[in-house]
């Protein structure tokens, strides 16, 4: 229909009057039929019909009056009045449609529409209205109607411009209808131009746009999207910014150029021109101010969005620091001591690694919700990174209040979280720090203190609260220096292994060694109890642990080759959970075995019970592969962890090392005796090997012997000794007759 409209309108322009009239009639008929079809089959909102019918009725009336206007002058006036009413009803209809399609940038679209409407008004005035005003060709009433109709046309143009500049989606019906109305506006202009005595526009030219307009409106009513013409436009699309800029600029420049180039004819003309230009200028200025403001607002909201965490919508680190700074500043004038809680979700990495990042995200969102619900309205919750949240309460006054707040937050974790993947319990470690009035503290400092306290809470076993005090900072800085030095310790050859013999007391033979790491720094030795946990946490344990295995096996090979120990002597190396989670660990072990030419069953890997607790599946798969190589696994410090018997059965274990706390009181404490007896009975029933650790005196050794535990290590037998001291230590131990009368010599 739209294409037919273009064709008919073009034809209309070239053919002579009688055919042109038939074409006009055909286009009118096409519109009529389309409207009927639309009403019957497409069924637009019934609200449109009064407008459509009124417009059709007034147009037909106008045409009829116009066709017979030779008869009387009055009919001429009636014709002009009818076209005025068409325009009037059209405006009301358009207002309804446009109001639903203003989109998000309504003010901008309206303002640009106003500028275009005003610009058009100036042109219409200078070119059409003023020259035809009072030239005596028609009655003054008729001229008034015609002038008013043209004036209304500029309002129609304003509405069309607004409609097209808005960022709401334009449906096909809207585009076709809008184009149709625009075509009729062009027709109006050409028709009015014809009334100027100095312009001659043929009716075949001035009617062609009407023909096109009729067809386009007909097409618009035949398209299914006509159903939504009065519905609010929902979707957004990119506003036509460039077209908008060009059109608005033209609407500004053209009128100014025209007004400058032509002289005002009389006082009325001058007044109209001046008022129009002033109003136009005012509209432009308003638009510019509005634009600048909108820009500033958009920028501010972008900035804000950049400071909110995208997952939880909570303030991020930089915004939280600002809030804390503000709270500290405000507290100077009052008794208040703002509290900062540093909250770290316990074992979040495990959740992420074992259940996936989606679950991790769900947990974080749930935590964010819990925290926000747990705190008072004055407190602010933020997420500053990964699993770290911060709560700021600017209104606390005493440390009791601060701790109460922290307890409330910790309580929020007690209940399980219902996630898509099922129920889950999550705990948190909370560090508490307060800004005291008598010291100058930056937001960063306060946050760091809370962070430090949080680490103390983690050290204390997680799921608890720690209140900051100054001694913590010292610990942290010491820890930090250990951490950095540890990174370089391996390169600087500051690490070495010492070896503690494991003796079979019954036969008096050193059956193996446990390799223990030592770190000698410039300022003395660092205890493994201090640096091993840091190495585990930072991951440094992976390279240094690999080094330890190779180094220990290399030395064992040397001792076997030089006859210091028997060829079946074993080497025990401690392995941390982190190493078992390293995908290269199995190949590291097998390479060390092949380089040292030590049989796999001469290597014992000592793991603690904690391995079975955190991420058991990952550790299990590494251990299984190692065991299939022939390597053997010992549970170290048995009895001090939380291993369940079922896990014990599930893990491929060949040895249990009884922790020294049980050995310690063995000689005189019945409880310890029955405990060790139970452990040994259990190990025997599972066919596990047993070694007692930390044997420091003969009574302990005797008690162990009575319980049928013959393998032991401890200060009584030998302290861990350096590599060089191993041969003499072994010789001394094996020549010492007191271990057993049953000494049978070295097994081959």
- Residue ranges binding ligand C2E (CB under 6 A): 500, 516-517, 527-529, 532, 541, 545, 548, 574-576, 606, 636-637, 660, 694-696, 713-715, 720
Is 102 or 515 the residue whose CB approaches Mg ion more closely?
Answer: 515
Q: Which of the choices ligand C2E, Mg ion, none does residue 660 contact, using the CB cut-off of 5 to 8 A by kind?
A: ligand C2E
**At closest approach, how far in Å is the CB of 510 from ligand C2E?**
15
Q: Shortest distance, CB of residue 497 to ligand C2E, whole angstroms?
A: 7
Which of 80, 606, 609, 734 is in the footprint of Mg ion by CB under 5 A?
A: 606
Distance CA 175, CA 181 (A): 10
Q: Which is nearer to Mg ion, 451 or 693 (CB)?
A: 693
**Residue 606 C-beta: closest distance to Mg ion, Å:** 4
Q: Which does 445 bind (CB under 5 to 8 A by kind): Mg ion, ligand C2E, none?
A: none
For the CB of residue 566, give the shortest distance to ligand C2E in the complex, in Å.
Answer: 22
Contact 374, 386 (CB under 8 A): no
DSSP secondary structure string for all residues of 112-142: HHHHHHHHHHHHIIIIIIHHHTTSSSS-HHH
551 is a site residue for Mg ion (CB under 5 A)? no
CB count within 10 Å of CB 34 equals 20
**What does the alpha-carbon distance between residue 434 and residue 469 come to, in Å, rounded to a whole number?**
10
Return the structure tokens found at 109.
């679209």
Of 569 and 576, the one with the shorter C-beta distance to ligand C2E is 576
Q: Which is nearer to ligand C2E, 297 or 702 (CB)?
A: 702
Q: CB 602 → ligand C2E: shortest distance, Å?
A: 17
Token duo for residue 312: 């939880």
Using alpha carbons, list the distances in angstroms from residue 243 to 113, 115, 248: 13, 14, 8
| 382: partner contacted, choices Mg ion, ligand C2E, none (Cβ within 5-8 A by kind) | none
Least distance (Å) from ligand C2E to the CB of residue 422?
34
Strand, helix or coil at 187? Answer: helix
Q: Minimum distance between the CB of residue 464 and ligand C2E, rounded to whole angstroms?
A: 24
Question: What is the rounded distance in angstroms from the CA atom of residue 692 to the CA atom of residue 655?
Answer: 11
CB 363 within 8 A of CB 426: yes
Binds 545, which of ligand C2E, Mg ion, none (CB < 5 to 8 A, cut-off by type)?
ligand C2E
Select 117 or 694, whichever has its Cβ closest to ligand C2E.
694
Q: How far apart are CA 86 and CA 219, in angstroms?
A: 20
* Residue 131 or 694 with smaller CB distance to ligand C2E: 694
CA geometry: angle 389, 395, 397, nearest 5 deg: 110
Contact letters for Mg ion, residues 126-155 (x by CB under 5 A): ------------------------------
- Which of 574, 579, 622, 729 is in the footprint of Mg ion by CB under 5 A? 574
What number of residues does the chain have? 748
What is the rounded end-to-end Cα distance, in angstroms, of the chain?
A: 104
Closer residue to ligand C2E, CB minimum distance, 195 or 516? 516
Which residue's structure tokens are 């060089």? 724
CB of 375 to ligand C2E, least distance (A): 41
DSSP 642-697: ---HHHHHHS---EEEE-HHHHHTTTT-HHHHHHHHHHHHHHHHTT-EEEE----S
Residue 362 contact partner, candidates ligand C2E, Mg ion, none, CB within 5 to 8 A by sort of partner: none
Q: Which is nearer to ligand C2E, 51 or 547 (CB)?
A: 547
User: Residue 85 and residue 54: Cα distance in Å, rounded?
Assistant: 9
Query: Cβ 399 to ligand C2E, closest distance in Å?
Result: 37
Which of 216, 204, 207 has the alpha carbon at shortest distance from 160?
216
User: Rounded to the nearest whole angstrom, what is the least distance from the CB of residue 588 to ligand C2E in the complex?
Assistant: 13
Cβ distance to ligand C2E smaller for residue 465 or 658: 658
Q: Tell me how far, at minimum, the Cβ of 746 lies from Mg ion, in Å.
A: 25
- Closer to ligand C2E by CB, 182 or 676: give it: 676
Query: In the 8-state DSSP scheme, what is residue 238?
Result: -
φ, ψ at 576 (rounded to 5°): -95, 160
Strand partners for 431: 342, 466
- What part of residues 676-715 is at the interface with Mg ion (CB under 5 A)? 693
Please say which residue, 28 or 608, places its beta carbon nearer to ligand C2E. Answer: 608
Distance CA 59, CA 35 (A): 15
Q: Which does 527 bind (CB under 5 to 8 A by kind): Mg ion, ligand C2E, none?
A: ligand C2E
C-alpha 747/C-alpha 612 separation (Å) is 35
Binding to Mg ion (CB under 5 A) within 629-668 occurs at 636-637
Residues at the interface with Mg ion (CB under 5 A):
574, 606, 636-637, 693
């Amino acid at each position: 229909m739209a294409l037919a409209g273009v064709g008919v309108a073009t034809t209309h322009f070239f053919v002579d009057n009688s055919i042109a009239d038939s074409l006009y009639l055909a286009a009118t008929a096409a519109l009529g039929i389309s409207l009927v079809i639309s009403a019957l089959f497409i069924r637009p909102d019934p609200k449109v019909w009064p407008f459509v019918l009124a417009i059709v009725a007034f147009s037909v009336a106008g045409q009829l009056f116009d066709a017979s206007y030779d008869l009387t002058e009055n009919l001429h006036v009636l014709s002009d009045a009818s076209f005025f009413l068409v325009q009037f009803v059209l405006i009301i209809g358009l207002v309804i449609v446009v109001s639903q399609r203003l989109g998000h940038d309504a003010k901008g679209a309206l303002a640009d529409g106003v500028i275009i409407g005003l610009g058009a008004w100036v042109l219409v005035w200078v070119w059409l209205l003023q020259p035809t005003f009072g030239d005596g060709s028609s009655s003054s009433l008729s001229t008034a109607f015609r002038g008013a109709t043209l004036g209304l046309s500029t309002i129609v143009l304003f509405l069309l411009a607004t409609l097209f500049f808005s960022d709401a989606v334009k449906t096909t019906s809207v585009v076709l209808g809008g184009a149709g109305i625009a075509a009729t506006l062009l027709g109006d202009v050409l028709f009015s131009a014809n009334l100027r005595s100095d312009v001659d526009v043929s009716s075949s030219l001035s009617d062609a746009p009407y023909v096109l307009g009729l067809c386009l409106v007909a097409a618009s009513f035949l398209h299914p999207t006509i159903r939504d013409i009065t519905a609010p436009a929902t979707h957004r699309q990119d506003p036509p910014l460039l077209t908008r800029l060009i059109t608005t600029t033209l609407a500004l420049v053209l009128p100014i150029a025209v007004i400058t180039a032509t002289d005002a004819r009389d006082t009325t003309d001058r007044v109209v021109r001046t008022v129009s230009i002033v109003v136009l200028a005012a509209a432009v200025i308003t638009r510019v101010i509005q634009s600048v403001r909108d820009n500033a607002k958009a920028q501010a909201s972008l900035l804000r969005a950049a400071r909110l965490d995208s997952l939880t919508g909570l303030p991020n680190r930089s915004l939280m620091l600002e809030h804390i700074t503000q709270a500290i500043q405000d507290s100077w004038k009052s008794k208040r001591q703002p509290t900062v809680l540093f909250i770290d979700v316990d074992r979040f990495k495990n959740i992420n690694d074992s259940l996936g990042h989606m679950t991790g995200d769900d947990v974080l969102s749930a935590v964010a919700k819990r925290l926000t619900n747990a705190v008072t309205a004055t407190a602010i919750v933020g997420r500053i990174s990964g699993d770290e949240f911060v709560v700021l309460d600017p209104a606390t006054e005493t440390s009791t209040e601060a701790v109460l707040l922290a307890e409330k937050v910790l309580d929020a974790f007690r209940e399980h979280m219902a996630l898509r993947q099922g129920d889950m319990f999550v705990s948190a470690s909370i560090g508490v720090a307060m800004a005291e009035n008598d010291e100058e503290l930056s937001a960063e400092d306060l946050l760091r203190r809370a962070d430090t306290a949080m680490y103390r809470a983690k050290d204390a076993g997680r799921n608890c609260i720690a209140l900051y005090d100054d001694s913590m900072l010292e610990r942290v800085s010491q820890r930090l220096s250990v951490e950095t030095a540890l990174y370089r310790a391996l390169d600087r050859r500051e690490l070495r292994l010492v070896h503690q013999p494991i003796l079979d007391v019954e036969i008096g033979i050193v059956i193996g060694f446990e390799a223990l790491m030592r770190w000698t720094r410039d300022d003395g030795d660092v205890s493994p109890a201090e640096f091993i946990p840091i190495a585990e946490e930072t991951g440094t344990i992976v390279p240094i642990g690999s080094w330890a295995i190779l180094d220990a096996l290399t030395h064992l090979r040397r001792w076997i080759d030089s006859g210091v120990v028997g060829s079946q002597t074993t080497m025990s190396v401690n392995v941390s959970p982190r190493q078992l989670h390293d995908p290269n660990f199995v190949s590291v072990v097998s390479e060390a075995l092949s380089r040292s030419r030590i049989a796999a069953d001469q290597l014992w890997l000592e793991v603690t019970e904690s391995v079975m607790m955190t991420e058991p599946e990952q550790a299990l798969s590494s251990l299984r592969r190692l065991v299939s190589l022939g390597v053997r696994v010992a549970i170290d410090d048995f009895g001090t962890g939380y291993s369940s018997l079922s896990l014990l059965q599930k893990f491929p274990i060949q040895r249990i090392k009884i922790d020294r706390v049980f050995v310690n009181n063995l000689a005189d404490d019945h409880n310890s005796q029955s405990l060790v007896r139970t452990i040994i009975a259990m190990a025997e029933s599972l066919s596990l090997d047993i070694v007692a650790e930390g044997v420091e005196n003969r009574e302990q050794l005797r008690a162990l012997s009575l319980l049928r535990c013959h393998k032991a290590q401890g200060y009584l037998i030998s302290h861990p000794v350096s590599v060089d001291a191993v041969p003499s230590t072994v010789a001394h131990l094996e020549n010492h007759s007191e271990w057993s009368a049953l000494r049978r010599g070295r097994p081959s």
